[in-house]
Copies of this chain bind each other. A is one copy, B any other.
């Protein structure tokens, strides 16, 4: 695959992922991951210290799917939505069918009453299976800039 097509495919993956969450189509969210995946939301300092725990942690696509089901069932939180802006993806390396990439993001949270605030900022650090279409995440680390974000972090980022 030429590099332009590869970059375009990664940009599309990033945008489709954000759209899926922003549109509240969370049942489709696990499809963005390979079966044997890792999804972790952590903060910058924990990540720098190589701590492997996180605010949200899923070690397989099954856990990703479970998380969505639990969220839909529990429904104890005040309804809200996100709106993401994801900066341009940066392709760091490609080895075989695995691309390493990252991007900055801002996520705004919109409460049911319309109240809007900048909720989370940070960086996606990704390993992506680019050997088949659609591209899927082998690993997505969501590294938040601030530790203050964890209240009401129910919807994935």
Contact = CB atoms under 8 A, between A and B. Distances in A.
B84 A104 contact: yes
A28 interface: no
Main secondary structure of the interface of A (DSSP, over half): mixed
B90 A148 contact: no
A145 B83 contact: yes
Given A83-B104, A83-B121, A104-B22, A145 B90 contact: no
A15 B88 contact: yes
Copies in the complex: 3
Contact of A88 (B11, B44, B145): B11
Interface stretch (A52-60, A108-116, A132-140): A108-116
Interface centre among A44, A87, A106, A110 (most CB of B within 10 A): A87
Nearest to A85: B87
A75 interface: no
B12 A90 contact: yes
Contacts of A14: 88
A144 to B, nearest CB: 9
B88 A88 contact: yes
Given A4-B4, A84-B87, A85-B87, A116 B121 contact: yes
A4 B5 CA distance: 9
A85 B106 contact: yes
